[in-house]
Structure 1
């Protein structure tokens, strides 16, 4: 068992690979930081850890930080344990670089927030600041964050070079939250946020125990593309104090539904992307669902009025990402940190009919758990089990997916994190800005108008995703649920530019407008004509009309190509009905290759099924990958007093599923250096 140290960072490494292999930990890619280079040998389910020497820690604050890289030839995972003192700790499981995204929303607690961004390549990052809390000036909406004035709604720009991290942290009694702050980058980046220290008093001002917590909190943020619509809340067994659930919306006009402690269905409307709401109810597993993709986090509170049952629950505030049901997997390998005098638990969420197929370390598990039913999702069960520290493997024999979380309890000390989850694009990218009349899209996540569920929510499942939402009873109910003033939702789109019609014989310009915005009190407003003819124009006189283009070309003078379509495309706009194997996006001429875990015609093939939980090697045929591949994984650990940023390498089907990025073996890694001066002005 590892000894307990103050101000320490420990990396726990583990793998499922049978053969032993070497992982290289290095900081030599950054000339201005301290130098570190060491080898760590891993083998299947063998416990390996590396405690970072204090000389590699750096102080929090605004500015560039050095990073750490872990590089290995095959799949492995890393869990990070950060201890500020004997009464303050946090953990998280890091994501590989290939699982990063271009858009995030930060989540912090309401005391000493911290946010860090790390780049694997040159990146331009925009921060749209969102501030909440007692120290936010209500008149001017800004706070003095160290020597930088951050204004609510302001935008800051970061320019990061390869392997650079940027830290925005203050651990000096800063009472505000950065939750809802949007992070947007031109290339994928990683992000971690949380709190240097957290205080239950800051979360609930009626709590008389102002000293009840001096804990840290950390979580590696999931990209928006992995936000989901259905979640099951955890019940922490052997825990009396309530927790709360932070919900962050990724799209405008999102409706969230849950069952309260009295069995009553509640609806909460989030009018804007990045809106944050905190839900608090007693511990019992329940289903939380939304009409559009959201992220959810569980905040473990300190007790406020300790009873005999909860007297050991002072302090130990923690933050944990909740995994959407769509990202559950059938197998996890995870590490339980070795800390003295703590009780460690795993919590499992699974469909009831598959409970008997669970194996923990090759032993059947179901009979060792006490199961609870899930409110709102009767087919699911949730249970917890005490577990010893070390590396463990859990799976289902029938490959039924399930969720798994790891947590610990001790007086003034706790941690919690998911054992792992799949990283998949389940929150689709926007492909248009407005609804089109008659598009039959019940849940158009790309338009910024009110989704149709807000106009006609019923007990029916309109989305074929298991959601059954009760209607809002009145407009007053909707307005009372909003966190801000009523959104302006009733407008008609602007006229499109004048353009030639899709008719070679038409000599008039036309323009169109769409009824894409809805008044939540009324039906769509479309009094103006949707098409208007203009003056005669020499359409297609000097240009070749698209109708005359050869097959698989389109547009004026046939300059555009749609060769990836299965059949010839529309010669005016490039749309087609079906794509060739390896391609998708037929409405735009099949201009996109298959993504993660996709293959075949229109990318409808599932690599996870074909390749036993792995990604395909060939996007056309779905051929499975049997060779070892090098790729880089990046971690960021600047959320505590001893803080650091980490880059590491490996692949793990248990922690994240990412498209592999190939590198050459050997000295190629020594040349991947683009050292920049540390003291650059970036904000």
Structure 2
């Protein structure tokens, strides 16, 4: 089992500074926990750091934008304190920049599994208070993480005082005798949910006779009726679960192999979507998409530009208003952070435009 992360350069002359959370060796040099070192990268150059100790909480900064991928060469994924033996797999996910982390999340169990899922909350700032349904409050400092084992019948609400990263792990087959390997999936904060998604299932080649594909959906309970899967209302037998201590609901759906779309009739209703699948003995999982708005960065109010994916009013949300003279998001401001541009050029015609294009408003 090797813990690892990689960094990809996008621009020439980029300086990457790494502060590892464990002792590491890199380019013939040994570095202790917390000892910073820097590496130069040009466009499309890469570096990799690997060790046999958990590198969660390592800090990576760069003089110019870079891509960061993190994971494990062969992870087993069982709860802490349990011997990490059994089925395993290579895990890797691209890690969103800290400026895009959030303060509110919803966790949804993975269908077919019965022994629960593992979640990790990672803090970027000191004195971050984290609250999770059915758990005692915990305070994390920068680089610290909290791992919890959530039963397969529980839907949790996660909030924090400072932006955090949340990751979900599908457990090894030994947890519940499900013949499938683990996977790792970044869970976007609700503030980074999108209004529509186009996504594809992944071909699972180990056993072509028995692949299954699934999605988890998260949405505010009041907005469920406007959801569309491949242009049609959700199946009538869809089971919704209210998420305690929140106004969100979540559902698990089985889907066919191939490309699908999920969206809402309203241009300001956002949805969380997670796509995953199982086959003997493989699996996959990934968020169907997410915004990467800089909701955790220092913010200054800006003039609203429709669909600019900028937090114009510095409330931690993006493009949440219609140009209709109404306070759609309930923050006391009107038309301050607009969702779409194709109807917003003419206020007098805006309502008619939405009725025609979005079909969700009554004249």
User: Hey, what does 1:282 align to over in structure 2?
Assistant: 151
Q: CA deviation at 1:366?
A: 5.1
Equivalent residue in structure 1 for 2:10, among 108, 115, 120: 120
Cα 1:607/1:430, change in 2 over 3 Å: closer
User: Hey, what does 2:341 align to over in structure 1?
Assistant: 611
The DSSP-based 3-state class of the residue aligned with 1:364 is: coil
User: Hey, what does 1:180 align to over in structure 2?
Assistant: 57
Cα distance between partner residues in 2 of 1:302 and 1:146: 33
User: Hey, what does 2:348 align to over in structure 1?
Assistant: none
Give the TM-score normalised by the residue count of structure 1: 0.43
Spell out, residue by residue over 1:628-681, the C-alpha distance to the aligned partner (whole angstroms, 9 max, x if none): xxxxxxxxxxxxxxxxxxxxxxxxxxxxxxxxxxxxxxxxxxxxxxxxxxxxxx
| Matched ranges for 1:67-106 at <5 A | none
Cα distance between partner residues in 1 of 2:293 and 2:336: 12
Structure with bigger RCO (C-alpha 8 Å, 6+ apart) = 1
Cα distance between partner residues in 2 of 1:112 and 1:613: 51
Q: CA deviation at 1:268?
A: 0.1
Q: CA deviation at 1:147?
A: 5.0
Give the TM-score normalised by the residue count of structure 2: 0.79
Q: CA deviation at 1:194?
A: 0.7
Q: CA deviation at 1:214?
A: 2.6
Q: How many residues align?
A: 317
Cα distance between partner residues in 2 of 1:159 and 1:245: 33
Equivalent residue in structure 2 for 1:334, among 199, 213, 224: 199
Q: CA deviation at 1:148?
A: 4.4
User: Hey, what does 2:20 align to over in structure 1?
Assistant: 129
Residues 1:223 and 2:105 aligned together: no
User: Hey, what does 1:386 align to over in structure 2?
Assistant: 254
Cα distance between partner residues in 2 of 1:228 and 1:598: 13
User: Hey, what does 2:323 align to over in structure 1?
Assistant: none
- Note if contact 2:293-2:311 (Cα within 8 Å) is conserved in structure 1: no
For structure 2, the residue ranges without an aligned partner over 5 or more in a row are 319-332, 346-363
Cα distance between partner residues in 1 of 2:343 and 2:262: 15
User: Hey, what does 2:297 align to over in structure 1?
Assistant: 428
User: Hey, what does 1:136 align to over in structure 2?
Assistant: none
Q: CA deviation at 1:597?
A: 3.1
| Matched ranges for 1:135-534 at <5 A | 142-143=23-24, 147-169=28-50, 175-200=52-77, 204-207=80-83, 210=85, 212-260=86-134, 266-270=136-140, 272-283=141-152, 284-304=154-174, 310-313=176-179, 316-339=181-204, 340=208, 341-365=210-234, 367-377=236-246, 379-399=247-267, 400-429=269-298
The DSSP-based 3-state class of the residue aligned with 2:236 is: helix
Cα distance between partner residues in 2 of 1:599 and 1:268: 32
Cα distance between partner residues in 1 of 2:81 and 2:127: 30
Cα distance between partner residues in 2 of 1:316 and 1:148: 35
Cα distance between partner residues in 2 of 1:406 and 1:144: 36
